[in-house]
Structure 1
Amino acid sequence: MAVRSDSTRPLSPGQVRSDKKQEEMGRPQRNLRLYGCVFLLLTITAVIITLIFTVFQIKDPDIKVNSVTVKQLVFANNGGVPGGRNITLVADVSLKNRNVASFKFGNTTSTISYGGVVVGEGWIPAAVSKSKRTLRMNVSMDVIPEKLMAVPGFTADVISGALNMTTYTRVQGKVKLLKIIEATMVMKLNCTVVYNISSQTAESHCKQHH
C-alpha cells in the first residue's frame, strides 16, 4: 500500500487564511518602503537641480582695468618720438572669478589701435584664477612709434595735447565643476584710453562683452 507524503497534503482552510493575512499585513510595509525610495530619489534630484542653478551655476568672470600708465612717451618739438623707442602702456587688470571652481585661460593677446589702425600689441600669459578669487595682473602693451606717427592726424592730436587710443582684449578659458560639468567662456574687453600729453597721465574707460 502506498503511503501519502505530508508534503502533498492540502492546506487546511485555517492555514490559507493565515498566509493570506500575513501577505496583507506585509503589503503596506512594502508600499511604504517603495514610497520612501521614490521620495528620497525625488529629494536628491531636487537638491541637485537647485545646486546646479544656484551654487554650481557657471558665471562669466568679470574683467576690470583699474588703471593705465604710459611709459617712454616723450615727444620732440616736431611732434615725433625721439630715439625710436617703443611706447609702453601698462594696464593694471583684475579678473574676478565668480565660480566655485577655478577658471583657466590660455595665452591672450591685446591690440592697441589709434585712428582705426593697429599700432601695437601686448600679451597676457596663461594663468588660473582660483574659486571666488580675484587675479590681478600687470599687462604691458608696446606701441610702435613709426606706426603711430604714420596715422593721419597724429601731429594735430599732439598739438591739441591728447591722444585717443583703443585696446581690444579677448580672453578664452574653461571652468570645470565636479569633473563633470565643463563650460568654455569668452570675454571681450574694449577700452578707450585718452593720454594727456601735458600731464603725462592716461584715463581709461572699458566695457566687457560676452
Structure 2
Amino acid sequence: MAEKEQQPGHNSATPYNYGRADEESQTKELKRQKRKKLILYIAAFVVFQTIVIAIFSLTVMKVKTPKFRVRAASFETFSVTASSFDMRMNARVGVKNTNFGPYKFDDGTITFFYRGVEVGNAFVPKSTAKFQSTKRFNVAINLSSTTLPTNSELGSDFNSGILPLSCTSRLTGKVELMLVMKKKKATNMNCTMEVNIATQQLQNLKCK
C-alpha cells in the first residue's frame, strides 16, 4: 500500500511558533531587566541625594555660635599708686565666624571688672564677620579704681605686683546662609587676665 502523502503545512508552523515564542520571551526578559536596572538606578540616586542633603545640612547649613574674644591688649596710659589705679587700655578683640555665611552683629558693650566690681567698659560698634573669617578691631577702655570699696584687696594685689581683671560681653546678630536664610545667634565673651604692674603688660589672658 502506498504511503499516504503528508499533508502540506502539517508541521511547518511548529518551528515558527516556537521561534516566535522564544523571541517574545527574550523581549520580555530584556524589558524586565531594564526595569530592574532602572529601579536600581533610581534607588541609588535617591540614596545619593539623601547622603548629599544630610552632609549639606550637617556642614554648610549648620549654624555655629561665633566666638567673641579679647585677643591682646596694650596700655596707652598707666598710673598706679598705693591705693588706686587709672589706666587706658587698647584691647584687640575678634569675632570668629566659622559659618558658611556672614555674621552680622549689633553694637554691644564689653564690661571690665576687678574682683567682681565694674572698673570700665568699652563700646563695640555693629559690624559683620564674613563667612569663615574673623572680624578684628580695637576698642579703648578707661580702667579706674574709683568705684572700688575702701575694703578692697587692691593693696595686697599691688604688693604682689599683679592686678587681676575680668571682662564679659554679649553680642547678638544673625548668620545669613545662602543669601536667603537668616538664623539668630548670640555670642558671649568671658575672659580673665592679669596686669603685670612692673612690666605694664597684660598676661595670662584666657577666654571661654
Using the size of structure 2 for normalisation, the TM-score is: 0.71
- How many Å apart are 1:158 and its aligned residue? 2.5
The equivalent of 1:57 in structure 2 is 62
Unaligned runs of 5+ in 1: 1-20
Question: Residues 170 and 187 of structure 1 are in contact (CA less than 8 Å); yes or no, is this contact kept in structure 2?
Answer: yes
The equivalent of 1:137 in structure 2 is 137
Report percent identity of matched pairs: 25
Matches within 5 A, 1:56-135: 56-76=61-81, 78-81=82-85, 87-135=87-135
SS in 1 for 2:158: helix
**What letter is aligned with 1:79?**
S
The equivalent of 1:162 in structure 2 is 162
The equivalent of 2:173 in structure 1 is 173
Which region of structure 1 is more displaced relative to structure 2, 173-182 or 186-195?
173-182
Q: 2: CA distance between counterparts of 1:63 and 1:115? A: 22
Larger of the two Rg values belongs to structure = 2
Question: Residues 67 and 204 of structure 1 are in contact (CA less than 8 Å); yes or no, is this contact kept in structure 2?
Answer: no
Question: Residues 87 and 145 of structure 1 are in contact (CA less than 8 Å); yes or no, is this contact kept in structure 2?
Answer: no
SS in 2 for 1:44: helix
The equivalent of 1:193 in structure 2 is 193
**What letter is aligned with 2:127?**
A
The equivalent of 1:207 in structure 2 is 207
Question: Residues 97 and 130 of structure 1 are in contact (CA less than 8 Å); yes or no, is this contact kept in structure 2?
Answer: yes
Using the size of structure 1 for normalisation, the TM-score is: 0.70
Q: 2: CA distance between counterparts of 1:122 and 1:151? A: 26
RMSD, aligned CA: 3.3
- How many Å apart are 1:126 and its aligned residue? 0.7
Question: Residues 73 and 90 of structure 2 are in contact (CA less than 8 Å); yes or no, is this contact kept in structure 1?
Answer: yes
The equivalent of 1:12 in structure 2 is none
Q: 1: CA distance between counterparts of 2:129 and 2:58? A: 22
Matches within 5 A, 1:24-63: 40-41=45-46, 43-63=48-68
**What letter is aligned with 1:164?**
P
The equivalent of 2:4 in structure 1 is none
- How many Å apart are 1:112 and its aligned residue? 0.9
**What letter is aligned with 1:141?**
I
- How many Å apart are 1:176 and its aligned residue? 2.1
SS in 2 for 1:147: coil
Question: Residues 89 and 141 of structure 2 are in contact (CA less than 8 Å); yes or no, is this contact kept in structure 1?
Answer: yes
SS in 1 for 2:147: helix
SS in 2 for 1:51: helix
Which region of structure 1 is more displaced relative to structure 2, 90-99 or 29-38?
29-38
Unaligned runs of 5+ in 2: 1-23
Q: 2: CA distance between counterparts of 1:151 and 1:132? A: 47
Q: 2: CA distance between counterparts of 1:206 and 1:183? A: 28
Which region of structure 1 is more displaced relative to structure 2, 198-207 or 105-114?
198-207
- How many Å apart are 1:39 and its aligned residue? 5.6
SS in 2 for 1:146: coil
Alpha-carbon deviations, 1:140-174, whole Å to 9, x = none?
A: 22223411475612233223322111111222222
